[in-house]
Amino acid sequence: MEPVDVARHAADLHDANMDDAEGRNWTYLSSDPPPDADAYAAWLAKMSAGGDPMFHAIVDARSGKAVGVAAFLRIDAANGVIEVGHINYSPRLQQTVAATEAMALMMRRVFDELGYRRYEWKCDALNAASRASAERLGFQYEGIFRQALVYKGRNRDTAWFSITDREWPEVKDALDRWLDPSNFDADGRQRSSLRLLRARS
């Protein structure tokens, strides 16, 4: 995880996103996919300007190339509340160990380093993949805020999830055990699912 640097990351991110030829990753994001590399760089520069949202690039350790983004946003330090959002994993990152590791690193930052009380995940209620990801990672479902937003010409109902500081030790334990190399066989297949490890915790 690295703070976004447009000069270093934009070209890699655009290239990785080109693997999503139909732009499906952008279905539930607030904007449409930029049409070319220059437009993507301009979009990334606009989105990452300022401190909230605080955009991060997810960099593949083997290739050194950025393959996804995620951000901290709605940062409320006074109340110890912060949200993760603007998550856009290119096909090169989706369904990889690194995809889960990136979220685990952001959680560690929130709870272990910054000492926040509450970590939020919100998504379009129609986004089944995002809802499943939140629950897999250990976020607790809190309900639907109806007609919370208007984007891309339609109402959006928003599903809310959270992890609190009291829940974090068990969530962290399950993530650590899932990410441990011993949890994967020689072909990279998991021995125990994250859901199973969380149940054991």
- What would the pLDDT profile of 141-163 be if each residue is shown by its tens digit? 999 999 999 999 999 999 999 99
Contact 169, 112 (CB under 8 A): no
* pLDDT number for residue 129: 96
Integer CA distances (angstroms), 181 to 31, 58, 93, 185, 190, in order: 37, 20, 18, 8, 9
Tens-place pLDDT, residues 75-91: 999 999 999 999 999 99
- What is this structure's pTM? 0.95
The reported pLDDT for the residue numbered 73 is: 97
Judging by DSSP bridges, how do beta strands 118-124 and 81-89 pair with one another? parallel
pLDDT tens digits, 3-48: 999 999 999 999 999 999 899 999 999 999 999 999 999 999 999 9
* Partners of residue 121 on adjacent β-strands: 84, 161
Report how far Cα 39 is from the mean position of its chain's Cα atoms.
Answer: 22
Least Cα distance to 176 among 75, 119, 97, 123 occurs for 97
CB 62 within 8 A of CB 52: no
Q: Which domains does the chain have, with CATH numbers?
A: 2-200 (3.40.630.30)
